[in-house]
Amino acid sequence: MTLLEARDLHVEFASRGRRARAVDGVDLTVGEGEIVALVGESGCGKTTLARTLLGLERPASGTVLYGGAPLAYSARALKAYRREVQLVPQDPTGSLNPRHTVYEAVAEGPRIHGLRDERERVASALSRAGLRPPERFFPVYPHELSGGQRQRVVIAGALALDPEVLVADEPVASLDASVRGEILALLLRLRAELGLSALVVTHDLGLAWNIADRVAVMYLGRIVESGPVEQVLSAPSHPYTQALLSVLPESPAPIVLSGEPPDPTRIPGGCRFHPRCHVLAAGKAAEAGVDGLCRSQPLEVLPSSAALQAACHYARARQPRL
Amino acid sequence: MAVTYRSAAGDVPAVRGISLEVAEGEALGLAGESGSGKSTLAMTLLRLLPKSARVTGEILLDGEDVLRMNWGRLRAVRWASASVVFQGAQHALNPVRRVGEQIAEPLLVHGIAAPAEARTRVAGLLEQVGLPAWRARSYPHELSGGQRQRVMIAMALACSPRLIIADEPTTALDVMIQAQVLTLIRSLIADRGIGLIMISHDLSVLAATCDRLAVMYAGRVVETGPAREVFTGARHPYGRALAEAFPTVGDPSSRMAPRGLGGDPPDPMRLPGGCSFHPRCPVALPSCAWREVELWPADGAAVDPADHVTRSTETRHTAACVHVLPEPEEESA
């Protein structure tokens, strides 16, 4: 069943006097007990999308739905919503107050929400996050912990409210390599034991392969390909996904796209990826007779479906089912 | 070489006796995590450490010991013979000066070029790292992360050094930008015969860029050898854990099965006795708690015990683990 949903979501910012369409039409769902990875490069809008799903940004148009009901933006409704949908921030070191003990850090949420049995809540959240015995960590300050332990404290802070969904922004990017696997295993265990759903925002395709059921690839404000992880990451259809996978260190034939991701204040016409598209540049789109479409015909917003789909004229010409 | 920091709480051994070498045109990858001593090692090579650090051993740059150079000689060597690309280009560039001036600075300071010539050289350097010459007039904040990292590389190249030390040069970058920067680094090494020491915690990135790898743990090298061999056939359990930490997308064995190590990197002030990895080691023997093993050939070739020490610094695959020793393993006590 669908728990969290974005429906035709648009989020805009003013950027140096221009309008930046950071999220430019996104349909996305996270089902109960599902882990969805939202992947893309810096500036593609993935963090803005995540913040909007958390109610931290107001969409210019479109709707965020939780449990089928549209999100209300009154202070009271948002407060209630945040018990259900919790953020796990990037960089645990920056998000923990250095002068608060572990206990105070984890108890903050339950206090704000006026929940009873604070001590038991904190103890149970810490032990579910793998910090055992929890009492040993109560009086400890963040600087006395390792990076992995700090990330566990941050996760415990989210768990203390018994949420249904975690939205994790690059949960392992700032961690040491050997600790990374342990934190990802923790997310899988929380799903297995508590039925937690998660939206994991990352630029790390290996992370998606390690823990996600579904992946959505975002480029310049839109989801350009989505589907089950095995299908999307083993046989990508969109040239952008192909390029992202091809530059992983183990890949035999890297397709290194030139330039940086383009600017959300100047989204190209036609397919938004066409100026950097290697399939178009290599003339393959012309062979398939779609190069005109690539340059002039924008693609529609991909619907929030669990099946494999890609917003690409060339991929559709070759695989009409997409 | 060894480095110890003196602090109020006591001596902190950051690098505990390691020997490494890099040849012309060769890329050596140094892998390890926080506290492994890899960044200390990098800073030591050009004597960039704080005063509290005590360095012993030798650091030979073209045969000359960096640790015994006088101040003037050291200044001449920095940038001109060896240069560093620091992690986090955001913070290493001066925000209020144009990047062209910053690239030109070592050229002017070392008297390698007059101001007019320096401008031409800067334009050429920017081109080499894939930036248009007009970018010289930009300020760091006008550049993206990848562009700033390219500027750092241009600075490092400015005086045509013989050695470049790159400390996590791509850590903060997106995969696509990382691929661009790594391709650039590889081609510069190949074209100019520069020696490279690249530091990272991502073994897969190092394996794709470097000829040889050295894996550091708690201030020592615990495994070293040809890059592919170490990455795909690590013999030290820590080397293996690092190699598996970043999964190969498409590999069914890592699907829904992230792999990590229990425990945390050790605190250099409270190193465990014996093999410092033993508390986290999945295959530790009882004796590992008191016995520390030297680097030993791990490639299966026959060994003359008399010369294992000299060979270990050469190109063969070695590991400091009781499980690679040729003797029969102790009776499981």
B192-209 pLDDT, tens digit per residue, is 889 999 999 889 899 989
- Test A181 with B147 for CB contact under 8 angstroms: no
Closest CA of chain B from A260, distance in Å: 7
**Is residue B160 pLDDT above 90, yes or no?**
no
The pLDDT value recorded for residue A92 is 85
Chain A residues within 8 A of B260 when measuring between CB atoms: 178-185
Helices (H) and strands (E) in chain A, counts: 15, 11
- Test B204 with A260 for CB contact under 8 angstroms: no
Dihedral, CA atoms, A242, A246, A252, A255, nearest 10 degrees? 90
Task: Indicate the residue of A188, A244, A248 with minimum beta-carbon distance to B256.
Answer: A188
- Test B245 with A243 for CB contact under 8 angstroms: no
The pLDDT value recorded for residue B326 is 80
The pLDDT value recorded for residue B313 is 47
Is the entire prediction scored with pTM above 0.80?
A: yes
**Is residue B237 pLDDT above 90, yes or no?**
yes
Task: Indicate the residue of B183, B202, B249 with minimum beta-carbon distance to A177.
Answer: B202
Dihedral, CA atoms, A36, A41, A47, A53, nearest 10 degrees? -40
Chain B residues within 8 A of A177 when measuring between CB atoms: 33, 201-203, 242, 245-246
Taking the Cβ of residue B7 and every Cβ of chain A, the question of whether any pair is shorter than 8 Å is answered with no
Q: For tokens 């999307």, what's the residue?
A: A232
- Test A243 with B176 for CB contact under 8 angstroms: yes
- Test B180 with A206 for CB contact under 8 angstroms: no
Q: How far apart are CA A285 and CA A288, in angstroms?
A: 5
- Test B249 with A205 for CB contact under 8 angstroms: yes
Taking the Cβ of residue A178 and every Cβ of chain B, the question of whether any pair is shorter than 8 Å is answered with yes
The pLDDT value recorded for residue B333 is 41
Q: Please report which helix (H) or strand (E) contains residue B30, including its range.
A: strand B27-31
Task: Indicate the residue of B175, B201, B258 with minimum beta-carbon distance to A210.
Answer: B258
Q: How far apart are CA A68 and CA A71, in angstroms?
A: 9
- Domain range summary for chain B, segments of one domain joined by +: 2-221, 226-324
- Test B262 with A182 for CB contact under 8 angstroms: yes
Could you read off the pLDDT of B308-329 as tens digits, one per residue? 544 444 578 999 999 998 865 5
- Test A256 with B179 for CB contact under 8 angstroms: yes
Closest CA of chain B from A187, distance in Å: 10
List per-block mean pLDDT (blocks of 10 residues) for chain A, which spans 322 residues: 95 88 96 96 90 95 96 95 92 90 96 94 95 94 91 95 95 86 94 96 93 97 97 95 90 80 87 94 94 96 92 92 76
The pLDDT value recorded for residue B242 is 92
Residue range B98-109: average pLDDT? Answer: 91
Beta strand B163-167 pairing with B82-85: parallel
A87 Cβ contact partners less than 8 Å away, ≥ 6 residues apart: A50, A54, A56, A158, A166, A167, A168, A169
- C-alpha distances in Å from residue A322, one per residue of A26, A272, A299: 17, 18, 12
**ipTM associated with this complex:** 0.87
Q: How far apart are CA B322 and CA B278, in angstroms?
A: 11
Chain B residues within 8 A of A258 when measuring between CB atoms: 180
The pLDDT value recorded for residue B112 is 85
DSSP per residue over A175-197, as a string? Answer: S-HHHHHHHHHHHHHHHHHH--E
The pLDDT value recorded for residue B298 is 87
The pLDDT value recorded for residue B188 is 82
Mean pLDDT of chain B: 87
Q: How far apart are CA B205 and CA B126, in angstroms?
A: 24
Could you read off the pLDDT of B41-74 as tens digits, one per residue? 988 998 988 889 999 999 999 999 999 999 999 9
> Do A137 and A166 meet the contact criterion of CB atoms below 8 Å apart?
no
Q: How far apart are CA A155 and CA A232, in angstroms?
A: 28
Contact pairs from chain A to chain B, CB under 8 Å: 124
Taking the Cβ of residue B187 and every Cβ of chain A, the question of whether any pair is shorter than 8 Å is answered with no
Beta strand A214-219 pairing with A35-39: parallel
Chain A residue with the nearest C-alpha to that of B263: A179
B239 Cβ contact partners less than 8 Å away, ≥ 6 residues apart: B31, B203, B215, B222, B223, B230, B319
Residue range B267-292: average pLDDT? Answer: 92
**Is residue B331 pLDDT above 60, yes or no?**
no
The closest alpha carbon to A267, from A237, A310, A304, A224, belongs to A224
Question: Using 50, 70 and 90 to split pLDDT, how confident is the model at B301?
Answer: low
> Do A106 and A125 meet the contact criterion of CB atoms below 8 Å apart?
yes
Query: What residue spans of chain A are helical by DSSP H?
Result: 46-53, 75-84, 92-95, 102-112, 118-128, 134-137, 147-159, 177-194, 205-211, 229-234, 239-246, 278-281, 284-287, 291-296, 313-318
Q: How far apart are CA B60 and CA B22, in angstroms?
A: 10
The closest alpha carbon to A59, from A18, A23, A88, A107, belongs to A23
Chain B residues within 8 A of A146 when measuring between CB atoms: 264-265
- Test A181 with B258 for CB contact under 8 angstroms: yes
Chain B residues within 8 A of A209 when measuring between CB atoms: 247, 249-251, 254-255
The pLDDT value recorded for residue A198 is 97
Question: Percent of chain B, pLDDT > 70?
Answer: 92
- Test B265 with A210 for CB contact under 8 angstroms: no
The pLDDT value recorded for residue A231 is 96
**Is residue B84 pLDDT above 60, yes or no?**
yes
The pLDDT value recorded for residue B311 is 46
Chain centroid to CA A296:
30
- Test B175 with A205 for CB contact under 8 angstroms: yes
- Test B34 with A147 for CB contact under 8 angstroms: yes
Give the class (CATH, top level) of B2-221: alpha beta
The pLDDT value recorded for residue A218 is 97
Closest CA of chain A from B290, distance in Å: 24
Q: Which two tokens stand for residue A158?
A: 């989210």
Task: Indicate the residue of B145, B201, B255 with minimum beta-carbon distance to A209.
Answer: B255
Q: How far apart are CA B181 and CA B171, in angstroms?
A: 11
Q: For residue A4, what are the β-bridge partners?
A: A30, A66
Chain B residues within 8 A of A176 when measuring between CB atoms: 33-34, 201, 265
The pLDDT value recorded for residue B180 is 81
